[in-house]
Amino acid sequence: METVDVRVLREARSWHAQGHRLLLATVVKTWGSSPRPVGSMMALREDGRCVGSVSGGCIEDDLVHRYTRAYGDGAMAQSTPELVRYGVTADEAHRFGLPCGGTLELLLEFQPDFETLDALVRRLESGQLVQRTVYVATGAVTLTPTSAPDAVRFDGLTLSCTLGPQYRMLLIGAGVLAEYLATMALFNDFSVTVCDPRVEHLGNWSVPGVQITREMPDDAVLALAPDTRTCIVALSHDPKLDDLALLEALHSPAFYVGAIGSRRNTSSRRERFIEHFGETTTSLERLHAPVGIYIGSRTPAEIAVSIMAEILAVKNGVALPAALSVEQVKRRLTTSIA
């Protein structure tokens, strides 16, 4: 699986190379509720074919009506970008399926430069992180290498978006829980690698689209070279394996490091790391353990939901309340029972 951005841009490049006219639409501003976040992209061809999404579907339909030959002469002949806004009035919001009070603004780029588009796709395919800047007055585009993701910025004159490789997930342990979590991660546009040196555990792996490695977990972390778009989750239940991965992951740029285990096992791990491996209370603050948020999960599928929810919250910069901590909730439940 690849990122939506890469799919949209690659398809736009392909259409351009085939001689089609097209436009590239990017969500640049939202007010109130919005179906798609800022930075969402779609490409639209002159015959009405499109890829990607900027809304729940109604706005895409309107763009097809307004800018393609499918419903008239189309209007893709212009060369400079255009700003369009949807949902200004309650009637318009209802018409376009926007939530109550929702408004969004799109930047439409007509027939983007092929050489620049091709260079961008090639960089993204090679795993580079790129800042794409569009100058609204002229439609000119610059591509700048960057080392860290940045928020989409639009000031009316320029649009800057950081585009790059997929978020990555490394799972230690190839059990049933890992299969459910890997499936959810794939649907959330993560590239997933599963590490398990135990041949008997990998023998039953059934999720396609996942990279498999039989390296020792610490070697797998080093080989992955975690960056700020990487999360690492230890699920093997074997301290000899999980600890190896965690000790490497805790000192990497990974945005999320988690480990499954009971409160007792988690406490023992923390003590072990401090006493024997030189970790500190501060360094262990990065460790999400017991992993996940508390939703009363019991089955592997439910536990995977709780883990994926926590990972996405951290990825999206959402501070989770203490009331959702597995450790704190279980401590309260134990105290109330006692």
Q: 208-243, pLDDT tens digit by residue?
A: 999 999 999 999 999 999 988 899 999 999 999 999
The helix or strand, by DSSP H or E, that contains position 168, with its residue range, turns out to be: strand 167-172
**305, pLDDT greater than 60:** yes
Domain that holds residue 293: 167-337
Q: Do 48 and 180 lie in a common domain?
A: no
**320, pLDDT greater than 70:** yes
Q: Do 171 and 264 lie in a common domain?
A: yes
Q: Do 199 and 282 lie in a common domain?
A: yes
Measured between its terminal Cα atoms, the distance across the chain in Å is 48
Q: Do 112 and 151 lie in a common domain?
A: yes
**23, pLDDT greater than 50:** yes
Q: Do 92 and 213 lie in a common domain?
A: no
The helix or strand, by DSSP H or E, that contains position 249, with its residue range, turns out to be: helix 239-249
Neighbours of 63 (CB within 10 A): 22
Q: Do 32 and 146 lie in a common domain?
A: yes
Q: Do 31 and 18 lie in a common domain?
A: yes
Q: What is the value of pTM for the model shown?
A: 0.74
Q: Do 221 and 109 lie in a common domain?
A: no
Average model confidence (pLDDT) across the chain: 88
Q: What is the pLDDT of residue 1?
A: 45
HSE-CB at 114 with a 13 A cutoff on CA atoms is 9
Q: Do 156 and 183 lie in a common domain?
A: no
Residue after which a domain boundary falls, among 127, 145, 163: 163
Q: Do 315 and 274 lie in a common domain?
A: yes
Bridge partners, 141 (sequence order)? 134
Q: Do 149 and 184 lie in a common domain?
A: no
Work out how many domains the chain is built from and give that number: 2
Q: Do 94 and 12 lie in a common domain?
A: yes
3-state secondary structure 258-284: EECCCHHHHHHHHHHHHHHHCCCCCHH
Per-residue pLDDT of 114-168, as tens digits, reads 999 999 999 988 878 899 999 999 999 999 998 777 889 999 999 999 998 788 9
Residue after which a domain boundary falls, among 101, 131, 163: 163
211: its two tokens? 């990279």
HSE-CB at 303 with a 13 A cutoff on CA atoms is 17
